[in-house]
Amino acid sequence: MGIESLLVFIIIGAIAGWLAGLIVKGFGFGLVGNIVVGIVGALIAGWLFPRLGFTIGGGIFAAIIHST
């Protein structure tokens, strides 16, 4: 994994964490916590979903949906 791929995972994860914080009601982890959880979700989704054969499509939008 190159530095560009890692940077994309971080950006997509930050967006996904923010969206997940808006979707899920309750206490949450705060803005920074939601972003960190989104980054972890992006890394897991980027590793796990291709191995399971689960895809929504390609591109940034699909990556955000996977991560969220």
Contact yes or no for 35/14 (Cβ under 8 A): yes
pLDDT along the chain (68 residues), means of 10: 79 80 73 79 81 80 77
Q: What is the pLDDT of residue 6?
A: 78
Q: What is the pLDDT of residue 27?
A: 63
Q: What is the pLDDT of residue 65?
A: 78
The parent domain of residue 59 ranges over: 3-67
Total domains, the chain:
1
Report the run of H or E that residue 47 belongs to, with start and end: helix 30-52
Q: What is the pLDDT of residue 26?
A: 64
